[in-house]
Amino acid sequence: MKNSKRAIYILSFLSMILLGGMLNSCQQDEFAYAKVGDLFQPKIMDISLSDTSTPTLVKGNSIALVWYKVNDAVSYTVELHLDNYYNSLFKTYTITDTQLLMDDIPYKTQFYIRVRSNSADPKFNSQWAYTNALTEERPAYAHILQPVEKFNITETEVTVNWTVDAANPVDSIAVAPAQSKEIPAIGRKLTQTEISLGQAKIEGLEKSTAYNVNVYDTKKPRVYDRPYNQESFRSAGPAPGQILVMKGDDLDALLKKNNADATIPEGTVYFLEAGSLFKITPFTISKGFKLTGGTEGAKPQIEMNGNWNIAEGALLNKLEFENIRFYQTIDASYFFNSGTSWKIDEVIIYNCDFNNFKRGFWRHQGSGKYKEVGNFEMTYCTLDEVGGHSGTYGTFVLGSAGADNFKKAVFKNCTFMRDYYGTTNNTYNFKNLFDYGDSAYPIYLEYTNITIYDYAYNRSLINLKNAAGSTLIFRNVLLASACGKLINAIAAGSTTTYSNNYTTTDYLLGPSSMQGTALGISAQNLFVNPKGGDLTIKDANSPIVTNKVGDTRWLPK
């Protein structure tokens, strides 16, 4: 027993010694709280003029802060943070006064603020005092920066446009990564030419990266009043998860294999190397996909020796084709031709060229075989040197005996031209723009900024004879071809809208059918070299240029 008590006593004594050493060590530690000499933390004075819970005074994008004097303080530090954990420092101030105006800081931003008294010896600095404040909305300002169109984006460059307005001048531009802090922002002064055009090209972007772009008037005295509205875009290039298809790869075999492979998801994106050429035999599609061409060089080319189709009963989400030249070397075929029943939510065709499709472009057949397209969009595309077959069907011919349901079809900034390829007989042409056949399903059909040259000779362009309640829009259309009637037939209860349309003397029926304006000159005199395929407008003062009519890619730069 005595030995046991003795052992406990020794252990207790050793513990006291160890504890005393630890306490002594902590007192010597430079991070220990010093009880003597520490300054009091500042007490923030309530100067708010509202019922908010914060004592700060906010006016526009400025915050005023006042606190009581702390004896022996040599200065005060004020920090503005963007998070309530005080890990996102926006700005810091060190002053000797007891009040601070934090002027010209971002609008409509929640700031978390802390104030500290500073001693001559930093180890005696006070603890922080905390408050927060929300700056006000920016006053109304001009939104002159235009959305960045995909057509103006490549893998390493972007062309930015804004509205030229003497009351809202622009002198600088900046393009900054929207997410990555490692990628540098690009900013510079604008040249006088860029300022007058309202357009600037920015180079040196990273591929497949989200960016924000701003234009500025740096002559304004307040920093956060200088930018105009911000726009966002993503540079081109392969995104993570996309399948890269390089020159020499067998795209045909890859597409067919993945179409039959249940483990390959719908919507798979295939990124085709710029300048590449692939030959494919189109197959019956069972799930949607996207083919997109690289922009660092010539458009990838795909030679098709047949047409796409969709599997019987298929339910597809989306088919998408971007930045590719498609062409055929066989006779009497189409880009798409189907006699099966199916549904697809969306078809997107962007910045593609189509050549040598001799019989038609998009055809439905199969009596009673129901086909449904939710949304069809074709933008910045060209159909050129097509047609030339004696049994032509046309551009869009939906002939499933009334079983076609095209809910919406929009064509913007497209050119339809030279449609009797390989012949001198202009009756071997594409006989329409859109023939809805016997379908009674209403359609929203829009043509905006369209150029039509030497196309659909003596043929009507639109046929909506049974689709009651449809909508047809024709605006900014330049018709420079000896077409027939604009509308063959349109069903009761349908609405039509025409605006800013123009015709050359080639359109023999005159502009009245689409409420247009006669230019009084021929296509030969309007375009630089129409027979050679160059439809650039000769005269920069033409109403086609000033009113931005037709496919805007043909407007002189």
Eight-state DSSP code of residue 34: P
- For range 410-417, the mean pLDDT: 98
How many of the other CB atoms lie within 10 Å of CB of 161? 18
The pLDDT score that the predictor gives to residue 48 is 86
Q: How confident is the model at residue 24 (pLDDT cuts 50, 70, 90)?
A: very low
- For range 59-75, the mean pLDDT: 97
- Tens digit of each residue's pLDDT (9 = 90 or more) over 104-115: 999 999 999 999
The answer to whether 66 and 47 have CB atoms below 8 angstroms apart is yes
- For range 372-383, the mean pLDDT: 98
- For range 11-39, the mean pLDDT: 44
User: Helix, strand, coil: what percent of the chain each, to 5?
Assistant: 15, 40, 50
- Tens digit of each residue's pLDDT (9 = 90 or more) over 229-244: 999 999 999 988 899 9
- For range 76-80, the mean pLDDT: 98
Question: Is the pLDDT assigned to residue 5 strictly greater than 80?
Answer: no
The pLDDT score that the predictor gives to residue 35 is 53
> Considering the chain, what percentage of its residues have pLDDT values greater than 90?
89
Q: State the chain's mean pLDDT as an integer.
A: 92
Q: How confident is the model at residue 160 (pLDDT cuts 50, 70, 90)?
A: very high
CA distance to 42, 80, 95, 259, 295, per residue, from 77 (Å): 10, 10, 7, 64, 51
> Considering the chain, what percentage of its residues have pLDDT values greater than 70?
93
- Render 483-510 in DSSP notation, one character per residue: B--SEEEE-TT-EEEEES-EE-TT-TT-
- For range 370-397, the mean pLDDT: 95
- Between 519 and 25, the more confident residue is 519
- Render 279-341 in DSSP notation, one character per residue: EE---EESS-EEEEE-SSSSPPEEEESS-BEE-TTEEEEEEEEES-EEEE-SSS--SEEE-S-
- Tens digit of each residue's pLDDT (9 = 90 or more) over 38-48: 999 999 999 98
Tokens of 246: 């390089």
The pLDDT score that the predictor gives to residue 342 is 98
Q: HSE-up of 61 (CA within 13 Å, CB side)?
A: 13
The pLDDT score that the predictor gives to residue 25 is 37
Q: How confident is the model at residue 332 (pLDDT cuts 50, 70, 90)?
A: confident
- Between 400 and 48, the more confident residue is 400
Question: Is the pLDDT assigned to residue 15 strictly greater than 80?
Answer: no
- Between 280 and 52, the more confident residue is 280
Looking at the chain, the number of H-run helices and the number of E-run strands are 5, 41
Rounded to a whole number of angstroms, the distance between the first and last alpha carbons of the chain is: 105
pTM of the model: 0.84
Q: How confident is the model at residue 21 (pLDDT cuts 50, 70, 90)?
A: very low
544, containing H or E segment: helix 543-546
The pLDDT score that the predictor gives to residue 121 is 96
CA dihedral defined by 111, 116, 121, 124, rounded to 10 degrees? -120
Question: Is the pLDDT assigned to residue 190 strictly greater than 50?
Answer: yes
**Of the candidates 341, 287, 292, which has an alpha carbon nearest to the alpha carbon of residue 318?**
287
Q: How confident is the model at residue 36 (pLDDT cuts 50, 70, 90)?
A: low
Tokens of 376: 């069809």
- For range 261-276, the mean pLDDT: 96
Question: Is the pLDDT assigned to residue 14 strictly greater than 70?
Answer: no
Eight-state DSSP code of residue 308: B
- The edge-to-edge listing of strands for the beta sheet with 462-464 is 336-338, 360-364, 394-398, 434-435, 462-464, 487-490
- For range 469-493, the mean pLDDT: 97
